[in-house]
Structure 1
């Protein structure tokens, strides 16, 4: 395990990456124009990436590439072409969300170091070994965790030889990362595809508590918490900001560099953090880290807070009697300061070059002597004042001898070497004037010479041959088998439904429990027909209780939306199915779950459309499932949504809030769309779409692909609307699966506020 502390910087474009490097970042993460979760950033080309890697390594800085979105089946062909190029660079790591991509990387591209993205919502002790099994060498933790929880997970990570990253600065999502579907449901702009439209930053109609931006949370900053994070065992301090410019990146990274170095040298924090307020910010909070979730985490303005901070600082220094003129002068000075920051950063990065290295090849041959290749590379020095030039000579093993049939001449050499251009080198000269005609050596030696050249140009690393993914076998479900109807419940009284239906009944377990809770162990043992359904987020003691349920009930089958539970179910020999919140969108994700953890089946993501589903290949002895009726979760949060909407008498969330609060309300955006805010007892605060998801089309379209369709009877997210009668719903869905097409019309009348837009739009 490495012991150094890493400062990991964002790089949205070339200038921002240069700014991070010159400011002292130990590593920079950046994205290409595809397959990354910040498509609003400028991003970079592949050729630029190679130049950036070369530049960064000159400054002892690593480069990580973001491939942190869910991948669609048809994209793997293009993705493999990219990976085949990446393995022949000196890239230091790839950041990944999709479990199918984790599978492909571990199996076919083992030289690429894999980092698990925060989009994988990692927050408990089972998820770290789960991701380690899939090939991850480091894990970026969920941003909602507190210091005690991070410390506990750092111990687990150390046991599994895994490095931990924690976000220490930048924008905060109010929702759990990877579990926000706010704009996916309405417009197909999925955060899991890098197209988040930032519904949490939108303006809404003024709420009862007087807020217009009720979901807008302050920026995160652990600037003064670095010693505690170091003591906790965190390896990498990650700064968010790939849509920010070079001046922002340089200011933040330079501030953190000085803070880290000063603390290591003196044992004290030496920086006051004021420079952080001179670049874009929404004010700062460290409330998640402190475990103090209070109303002060929100700010009713998503725009730059620099001017407001300046005014507040003036008032603190001079009292409330400051004049309008003083405020104006200070704000004018702030603008001057910002321009100076921009100019200073531009000046600092002006000499940094990512241009290709110039390459010259000179061939020479004489009878009874080896064929020689003189390789000259030229690039600008780091200060652009000189040219760095290197020359080596490569030689064939055999000697050149006369040949009437074959000749290693200009034509033969150019045919094999003229396309040696790559993202790192620009072939500016190919000199064959010193070749002697009529001479030859075995042509395999020319190939060897070319490979030696490629290895030299690749920093001595042998070129890795291209990988082609083997064609996936499609295993149909048993012929003539109709999809079964299953249902999800959360009310213990609904366990009686087991008496009137033969379908599987899943029982949704809570997100939170009293410490040492055994209630659900007894309940599930008394109702063996019920299949436990584990939620996506289980933190700290709640994970411990959920694990205790798993270990003591030992059900024959579970559904889990949490990979930590999946990891332990596999270790206990319990069959498990991947729930819909694991965001499975491709065949390789199914193979990853089956081969790595003996998964029995999976719910296919509701974010993808008919065509995207059709391309998925079912693994052998694996069930494919799909939810056809459920509330559409837009986001779930560890923070309270009621403080900013209807108000709450509690100034902060305490331990009792999760277990006892069961409020509901709604907010409305400026377009007039209403969204239900729902908080179930022992559940996380959540926001739901105004329409229910109802997809009866898939039964006619794709019944041949699926083993079962699920309906959600929990009534969660319904707000104050009256829910349809459960028995009547079951009857109509059973009729629909039996081929009674008029049941579709009946269901549409029973659920008038419904949509299946995601099935039409896809990702």
Structure 2
């Protein structure tokens, strides 16, 4: 056990999607709550609060000594900066304890408004390394939320290297993709995960295509749907590793869920500091499963284990596993129960195909050989009688799994913890009483938690007592009547000269005034500095670009593509290979063709992976394509001579402030976020030096980027790269969706998977618009195209830039010559005229 920490050094951070959930969090031991308002947060589907409610929210939380963090964890588009400023101003005025932020442009704006308003770096920032933490330090961010993919060893190293406050998710749903790096919802439905509109494409079924053949996966279809995170038994290790804040996921979950999870993690943290062993028992785990579970896992906290993260047979809440159907009677189902069950519980019958409607309902009766049983039953063979209108027994089969999906008794017990008029907790107040005959009685009240003090005097002077003078007993009784407030009497100190008395009514008034004044101090908004700023005072503008002199870049993913691109008139080649070991050969081929070449960093940088970046430098490219803030910081410190640094799309640049921030940190140019449609892109370009912004005009959208390796999971029995047999070097995998598109899955040098959209995306029709705003650098990305196709596509875009053909001609030609056609992707969600 660490001896340098106190219980108050560790924060238990709970989600709140509404007032009920917020009360549940406070009542069950949360030290802080995070919540969103009606816009600008990553849970657009949650009920959310209103900006106007911020003062009430903070008063309620601070009354109980709980901190409140507002989630502002989305990308902010250019035309939203004024509204974003309005919300930040409201947060400062209401005394919000911190905002949780994804967008580094927003971080920059907040610091312009206030130098001391606390900022937390969201997990959407994709902070997974010490270098990424260090990148944020110039902006005085109070803490960062690490990626869910970091292990305990990673966390320990990051904590030791950075000495920063670290927040880590410990319970709830897991995203299969790195947070901030999922573009699937944007690509398929214009519902960006970076805008709080995740469509949960990872929870859909996919067929697995291996080397162009359909792999028989049995009942496994949900190959991208992770189990839920549950790290209850890892609480001691997390504290020892340096975690400052334990974060629970679930702003879309019920108040009962919040009460359940918070109470159990609070108990585990308390046990650690009490020096007690806390081993979650079967009941604790079952109750957590009951509130919400797709099956539990440690995620990546215990290290990578590809055989544990994904079950694959179902994508949604299951609850507690009860057993299997043994027999179906005329009016009941025989089940070999492996967990408790009682009347009123909700159950579902799992036939192995969650895409179909499942039979389920409430348990009406329990029987043994036809004899009714009262009360709860434990493990054993029992007949389950369901309501006649709930279940079609003809659709239930022997062997079906049975799950308990709801437990009304548990819900009632959890609700009682917060559905009450009584204060959820009280705090000690120490009182000292000073009295002399002929002088007002003086009471000094100190809120022990906040150390705030008020002095209350009697309106009447103390008199000599004829009977029953003020004593410890009398004063403790009168001043301790604090019921209905958040206070209880702590220490009472008396300094009385002689036997004195004041009216009981005076003592009652003094007590009421003291508790009211202490409460007013307790709930008073925290004070921050605030400046009135013009959010557009730092904008820039570029002159219109000449397409005939514009730069055309080819991003290649094979040596064949680099050779082909080298024979065209492209101005620059980017290499984005699965294995860094092939980069020297890529540089050699580009040099032979007389082309400048940049090498792409991995999209993620984890602790221990600096060697990858050093190898990129050793290959001596002309440039480096920076894909994460950890790499940006590394190269900012290394300053490799003669190598230019270029920011890629994964830095999530969606407004001019973010673009300026990265340019000021040493990048020569930056790439606009893939979350921007054409209108939003034009907004960004109109306020920025567009000559330093690169636009990807053609690509296969990289939809999921994930630590979960489908190659290792389903083509081997290995847990990680050390024992998976490197099956990714022997096979090619694609995932076929419900409309028969096959999306390629590729592995990078860190063994991470990227799922690419099957269909090319082209923005050719918007070229003239982008040129008008000054964009002079355009990128065409290739995935699996052969050399001939590479040259054909590059020729079309060069012709369009030189105004020899229209963008519409390019789009139609690509559409006609591509087997799957092409899409306009997210760029098409706009009112901008195409030309």
- Structure 2 distance, partners of 1:12, 1:249, is 10
Q: What's the offset of the Cα at 1:259?
A: 0.7
What do the CA deviations read for 1:325-373 (whole angstroms, capped 9, x no partner)? 37989988962323323532343477579xxxxxxxxxxxxxxxxxxxx
- Structure 1 distance, partners of 2:230, 2:216, is 29
Residue 628 (structure 2) aligns with: 562
Residue 416 (structure 2) aligns with: 344
Q: Where in structure 2 are the equivalents of 1:237-636 lying within 5 Å?
A: 237-272=246-281, 273-274=284-285, 275-299=287-311, 300-308=313-321, 314-315=337-338, 322-325=380-383, 335-348=407-420, 381-382=485-486, 459=525, 461=527, 464=530, 466-477=532-543, 480=546, 482-497=549-564, 499-510=566-577, 520=583, 524=587, 529-541=596-608, 543-553=609-619, 555-573=621-639, 574-595=643-664, 597-616=665-684, 617=686, 619=688, 623-636=692-705
- Structure 2 distance, partners of 1:460, 1:678, is 49
What do the CA deviations read for 1:691-731 (whole angstroms, capped 9, x no partner)? 1111111212221231111111342xx7xxx7862222222
**Residue number among 790, 794, 805 corresponding to 1:730 in the alignment:** 794
Name the SS for the 1:289 alignment partner.
coil
Change in CA separation of 1:212 and 1:532 when aligned onto 2, cut-off 3 Å: closer
Q: Where in structure 2 are the equivalents of 1:666-705 lying within 5 Å?
A: 666-670=734-738, 672-680=739-747, 682=749, 684-704=752-772, 705=774
Name the SS for the 1:679 alignment partner.
strand
Q: What's the offset of the Cα at 1:382?
A: 4.4
- Structure 1 distance, partners of 2:81, 2:792, is 43
- Structure 2 distance, partners of 1:579, 1:284, is 35
- Structure 2 distance, partners of 1:391, 1:261, is 29
- Structure 1 distance, partners of 2:759, 2:403, is 46
Determine if contact 1:618/1:624 at 8 Å carries over to the other structure. Answer: no
Change in CA separation of 1:226 and 1:212 when aligned onto 2, cut-off 3 Å: same
Aligned length: 663
- Structure 2 distance, partners of 1:547, 1:485, is 26
Q: What's the offset of the Cα at 1:512?
A: 6.1
Residue 717 (structure 2) aligns with: 650
Residue 421 (structure 1) aligns with: none
Change in CA separation of 1:731 and 1:469 when aligned onto 2, cut-off 3 Å: closer
Name the SS for the 1:80 alignment partner.
helix
- Structure 1 distance, partners of 2:671, 2:191, is 21
Q: What's the offset of the Cα at 1:679?
A: 2.7
Residue 437 (structure 1) aligns with: none
Determine if contact 2:546/2:771 at 8 Å carries over to the other structure. Answer: no
Q: After superposing the two structures, state which structure 1 stretch, 299-308 or 162-171, moved more.
A: 299-308
- Structure 2 distance, partners of 1:552, 1:688, is 29
Q: What RMSD, in angstroms, separates the aligned Cα atoms of the two structures?
A: 3.8
Task: Give the unaligned 5+ runs of structure 2.
Answer: 209-214, 325-334, 342-376, 388-401, 426-482, 489-507
**Higher Rg:** 2
- Structure 1 distance, partners of 2:644, 2:259, is 50
- Structure 2 distance, partners of 1:285, 1:68, is 25
TM-score, with normalisation over the residues of structure 2?
Answer: 0.72
Indicate whether 1:5 and 2:10 are aligned. Answer: yes
- Structure 1 distance, partners of 2:754, 2:526, is 53
Residue 75 (structure 1) aligns with: 80
**Residue number among 818, 821, 824 corresponding to 1:756 in the alignment:** 824
Change in CA separation of 1:243 and 1:196 when aligned onto 2, cut-off 3 Å: same
- Structure 2 distance, partners of 1:338, 1:471, is 56
Task: Give the unaligned 5+ runs of structure 1.
Answer: 354-378, 394-423, 426-454
Name the SS for the 1:166 alignment partner.
strand
Residue 216 (structure 2) aligns with: 208
Name the SS for the 1:602 alignment partner.
strand
Determine if contact 2:652/2:672 at 8 Å carries over to the other structure. Answer: yes
- Structure 2 distance, partners of 1:624, 1:189, is 24
Determine if contact 1:30/1:65 at 8 Å carries over to the other structure. Answer: yes
Name the SS for the 1:303 alignment partner.
coil
Q: After superposing the two structures, state which structure 1 stretch, 182-191 or 456-465, moved more.
A: 456-465
Q: What's the offset of the Cα at 1:643?
A: 6.8
What do the CA deviations read for 1:511-544 (whole angstroms, capped 9, x no partner)? 666xxx6x64576478553112223113234x31
Residue 51 (structure 2) aligns with: 46
Q: What's the offset of the Cα at 1:587?
A: 0.6
Determine if contact 2:555/2:576 at 8 Å carries over to the other structure. Answer: no
Change in CA separation of 1:167 and 1:283 when aligned onto 2, cut-off 3 Å: same
Change in CA separation of 1:317 and 1:331 when aligned onto 2, cut-off 3 Å: closer
Change in CA separation of 1:172 and 1:321 when aligned onto 2, cut-off 3 Å: closer
**Residue number among 193, 198, 201 corresponding to 2:200 in the alignment:** 198
- Structure 1 distance, partners of 2:705, 2:404, is 41
Residue 372 (structure 1) aligns with: none
Q: What's the offset of the Cα at 1:190?
A: 0.7
Change in CA separation of 1:321 and 1:55 when aligned onto 2, cut-off 3 Å: closer
Change in CA separation of 1:214 and 1:554 when aligned onto 2, cut-off 3 Å: closer
Residue 143 (structure 2) aligns with: 138
Name the SS for the 1:288 alignment partner.
coil
Q: After superposing the two structures, state which structure 1 stretch, 232-241 or 265-274, moved more.
A: 265-274
- Structure 2 distance, partners of 1:77, 1:623, is 24
Q: What's the offset of the Cα at 1:734?
A: 1.4
Residue 27 (structure 1) aligns with: 32
Q: What's the offset of the Cα at 1:656?
A: 6.0
Q: What's the offset of the Cα at 1:465?
A: 5.3
Determine if contact 1:666/1:674 at 8 Å carries over to the other structure. Answer: no
What do the CA deviations read for 1:98-154 (whole angstroms, capped 9, x no partner)? 111011112222221111111111112211111222332211111112222222111
Residue 60 (structure 1) aligns with: 65
Name the SS for the 2:274 alignment partner.
helix
Determine if contact 1:495/1:530 at 8 Å carries over to the other structure. Answer: no
What do the CA deviations read for 1:200-235 (whole angstroms, capped 9, x no partner)? 122456972122323221100111111111111111
Change in CA separation of 1:120 and 1:457 when aligned onto 2, cut-off 3 Å: closer
- Structure 2 distance, partners of 1:302, 1:351, is 39
Determine if contact 2:597/2:622 at 8 Å carries over to the other structure. Answer: no
Change in CA separation of 1:740 and 1:196 when aligned onto 2, cut-off 3 Å: same
Determine if contact 1:94/1:113 at 8 Å carries over to the other structure. Answer: yes
Name the SS for the 1:615 alignment partner.
helix
Name the SS for the 2:175 alignment partner.
coil
Name the SS for the 1:9 alignment partner.
strand
- Structure 2 distance, partners of 1:462, 1:194, is 28
- Structure 1 distance, partners of 2:18, 2:516, is 34
Determine if contact 1:164/1:235 at 8 Å carries over to the other structure. Answer: yes
What do the CA deviations read for 1:425-467 (whole angstroms, capped 9, x no partner)? 9xxxxxxxxxxxxxxxxxxxxxxxxxxxxx9995584884543
Name the SS for the 2:94 alignment partner.
coil
Determine if contact 2:30/2:262 at 8 Å carries over to the other structure. Answer: yes
Q: After superposing the two structures, state which structure 1 stretch, 313-322 or 238-247, moved more.
A: 313-322
- Structure 1 distance, partners of 2:44, 2:767, is 34
Determine if contact 2:322/2:403 at 8 Å carries over to the other structure. Answer: no
Determine if contact 1:604/1:626 at 8 Å carries over to the other structure. Answer: yes
